[in-house]
Amino acid sequence: MKIGIKDKHHKRWKQNVFIKWLFYNSIVFIVTLAICMIAFFISFQIIEKEITKAHTASLTQVKQIVDDQLRKVERIYRDVSITPRIRDMMWYTGNYEPRHILSLKEIQKQLTAYKVLDPSIFECYLYFNHHDFILLDQGKYEPSTFYQFVFSHEDVSYEEWYSLVKKEYGPTYIPITLKSKSKPVTFYIHSMKFQKTFLGNFVVLIDGEMMDSVIERSKWLKDANILIMDKNNQYLSNPSEYHLPSHYTYETLEGKSGVLFDTMNNEKAVISYVQSDVNDWKYISVIPRKIFFKEAEKLLAIILIILGTCLLLSGVITYIITLKNYRPVKKIIDFIDLNWGKRYELSESEFAKIEGALEKITKEHKEMNIKMKKQEDLMREHFLERLLKGNVYTSSVNEAIQYYNLVLGEEGIAILIINVEDTSDMGLDYEETQEEIALFIIENIIGELLSESFTVEKTKVDEFIAFIISMNVSQVETFENRVEEVFQKAQSFIKENFQIVFTGAVSDCHIASSNLNVMYNEALIAYEHGMLLNHEGIQFFTQMTQSQEKNITFDLLDLERQFIYYLTARNFNKAREDFQELVNESFLDDELSFEMKKCRKYVLIHMVIEGFKKLAETQQDLDFFYQRSIPERLLKQKGIHDIYEETMGLLKEAEEYFSNDIDQNRTQEVCEKALDIIHSHLEDPNLSVSMIADTLGVSVSYVSRYFKKNVGMGALDYIHMQRIEKAKGLLKSEDINISEVAEKVGYINSLSLIRVFKKYEGITPGKYKEIQ
């Protein structure tokens, strides 16, 4: 009984999987066949288009042959029009002398040569308007005599012909039927002018039989009917004597070329046409569709037979392949039953049974590997962090290094630390996510570039990414150049592609040393030094230690007293010079030690605050000092460069504030114009107080002082405030980054916007955008 149930289940599973496979394999064949059919019909359409293009190209070739004949005629006209002898004879109004008779003979020879050179021309002549006669290769005739000689037996009356040759024309083609010719003759006429005076006409009669002969020789299909039609719906050439239905007119055939499909004389036909490049003629071909697409229709029949055969064979092959593929599955099912019992007996299919037997083992194995890898990475990074901070026992260091498979060079080793300064332009939703992604990008890009030259270990410590760089002895002397090259390359790439701003610092290179804590502290000192000097790149500790080799002393008291003296005396130009000298010689000197620069930074701030306070006291105007919050403005500046710029701005404000008063109406007018300039040029990066002064034709100090007096703040502060207000509005949009905002509000780059925005708002633009 149990054996019968088991066989029944196996039979059900077999039928279940087998039918599914048969169904899926059939779908594959059917879809493949459907794709082939679609591809075929697309290919057939392409073939039809290519056949159409080929026929159009052949018709274009006929057009080019006939157009070339017409161009020859127009070249003859240009040759005649520029021939001095002909122009002079037509311009001459007096009685002809013997020399004129000789000139006419030469012109006759020239006309004969034209007829000889171009067989399509069976006659050409010149009409002389001033003397009212016709000149052709056979002689000179009066119009009436010429008419009797050439057109007397034709349907064209003398008056019609004479009015035709007397008019002024541009290049004109007129079809004319002559009894002496079996085919219409094309009458080409073009006026001759000199100094806007009508001299006469040059006339060429183009042989219609010759044109039909050219078209017949150029036909690419025996059954093709080729016609030439002008804008008056007259046929200029029709070798096959084929006439289009009345609804096909010159206007019906729109555009310069096209292909139409229609039924003519109870037969489907393809009508192709192209327009002449020389005049308004249209070249038309009419070909029966069965001739036009003859080969394509044969191909269609063959493909349909092949597709039907493939459909039949694919069904048989699908069944055989499905049955063969099922046999290995049966063996796997039997193996599972034998080794793991019947706990998967009630599974929906064989695949579910196989999946249930292996899923748990695979999942547990994968989870264990992931946990072990994460734990090992965390322990490794934690050990490196403690190693950098000096929080490890000396006796266990070497064992731990071996255990974590760390490579720390015995010949040379240094530490590079990277700090992310700004990620606000990345455009992500959360600051924490931005920071994590930024650290990941920097860690991988710089780590990969460094690994090309050195052996590198990396970890995160405090807010920094730390790279432990190991090198051999030959790399020690050049490692700083290589690290700087890698940093600049990475900084440029990351800023351009990810809008991440970061800085770095490098310790000294230590030979045969494993004291990473010392190197990490050196890198931290170098980083602080870079921040003090507003350094946006990479700072090396060796540059600082080299600068300490020379003992520098400088007495600040004399310069401080001098600066305060100039300031209280309101000699602002001298105060600027003195302050600039003070900064250059005492603070921006590369030979100063880092500790000395930090000390003198606060001495500098104290000196400036004291100077402005004494200025306000001597002028009995302490509101100037307190309303501008001078101490707060100076103390929040991080680097020497920022302090220098802020002090220069304060000197300018003081100079404007304490200048002598002038006429109030004049100052009010200047301020109003200055405001107009600011609002109309807010997006211009060149907008400045100097630009406003130049535009108004006054001095910078004049604009600065009275703008402040009338508006309540300095012009530069007003410009920044207006730009920041505009930036706030733009930052509320989700589709714009910080760099684009900076450009739209007049800053040359995102760093300028970040610095000014943080100065006035207390936060970066990125954080402001997140708040909004």
Query: Which are the contacts of 520, defined by CB distance < 8 A and separation ≥ 6?
Result: 388, 389, 415, 417, 461, 466, 507
Superfamily of domain 570-771: Homeodomain-like (1.10.10.60)
- Work out the percent of the chain whose per-residue pLDDT is above 90: 3
Minimum mean pLDDT range among 47-61, 370-384, 634-648, 732-746: 47-61
Q: What are the Cα distances from residue 199, in Å, to 91, 137, 205, 705, 749?
A: 6, 19, 20, 80, 71
pLDDT at 471 exceeding the cut of 80:
yes
| Helix and strand numbers, DSSP H then E, in the chain | 28, 16
Q: Is the pLDDT of residue 190 over 50?
A: yes
Token pair listed for 243: 């006439």
- Domain 407-547 -> CATH class: alpha beta
pLDDT of residue 662 exceeding 50, the answer is no
Q: Where in the chain is the domain with CATH 3.30.450.20?
A: 83-211
Q: Which helix (H) or strand (E) holds 235?
A: strand 235-237
How large is the average pLDDT for residues 660-686?
76
CB neighbour burial string for 313-347, b if at least 16 within 10 angstroms, e if fewer: ebeeebeeebeeeeeebeeebeebbeeeeeebeeb
Q: What is the pLDDT of residues 401-439, one digit of tens each?
A: 777 777 776 678 888 999 887 777 776 655 556 778 888
Q: What is the pLDDT of residue 553?
A: 41
Torsion over CA of 519, 523, 524 and 526, rounded to 10 degrees?
Answer: 140
Are 395 and 442 contacting, i.e. CB atoms less than 8 angstroms apart? no
pLDDT given for residue 81 in this prediction: 86
Q: Supply the pLDDT for residue 189.
A: 92
The residue ranking higher by pLDDT, 717 or 348, is 717
Q: Which helix (H) or strand (E) holds 126?
A: strand 121-128
Q: Residue 499 has what pLDDT?
A: 83
Residue range 315-332: mean pLDDT, rounded: 76
pLDDT at 49: 75
* Residue 334 pLDDT grade (very low, low, confident, very high; cuts 50, 70, 90): confident
Q: Is 51 within 8 Å of 260 (Cβ atoms)?
A: no
User: CA 112, CA 116: separation in Å to the nearest integer?
Assistant: 6
Q: Does pLDDT of 250 surpass 90? A: no
Q: What is the pLDDT of residue 661?
A: 44
CA atoms within 13 A on the CB side of 679: 6
Task: Assess whether pLDDT exceeds 70 at residue 346.
Answer: no
Rounded CA-CA distance 547/533 in Å is: 14
CA atoms of 669 and 24, how far apart (whole Å): 86
Q: Which of 8-22, 396-410, 548-562, 630-644 has the lowest mean pLDDT?
A: 548-562
In 282-441, DSSP assigns E strands to: 282-288, 412-422
30 vs 646, higher pLDDT:
646
Q: Which is more confidently placed, 247 or 18?
A: 247
Nearest 5°: CA angle at 94, between 89 and 95?
95
Model confidence over 274-298: pLDDT tens digits? 998 888 888 888 887 776 665 666 6
Beta bridge partners of 611: none
99-110 confidence digits (pLDDT tens): 888 988 989 888
**Helical axes 750-761 vs 715-731, angle rounded to 10°:** 100
Provide CATH 3.30.70.270 ranges for the chain.
407-547
In what helix (H) or strand (E) does residue 193 lie, and over which residues does it extend? strand 185-194
Structure confidence at residue 320 (pLDDT): 80
Closest CA to 219 of 231, 209, 208, 227: 227
pLDDT in tens, 354-369: 777 677 668 878 888 8
What are the CA-CA distances from residue 587 to residues 532, 542, 565, 596 (Å)?
10, 19, 21, 9
pLDDT at 546 exceeding the cut of 90: no
pTM exceeds 0.75 for this model: no
Nearest to 238 by CA among 246, 230, 228: 228
- Tens digits of residue pLDDT in 215-242: 877 776 777 788 888 888 888 888 877 7
Indicate whether 567 pLDDT > 60. Answer: yes
Residues of the chain with CATH 1.10.10.60: 570-771
- Which one-letter DSSP state was computed for residue 415? E
CATH 3.30.450.20 describes domain 83-211: yes
**H or E stretch including 468?**
strand 464-471
**Is the pLDDT score of 188 beyond 80?**
yes
| pLDDT surpasses 70 at 746 | yes
3-state secondary structure of 40: helix
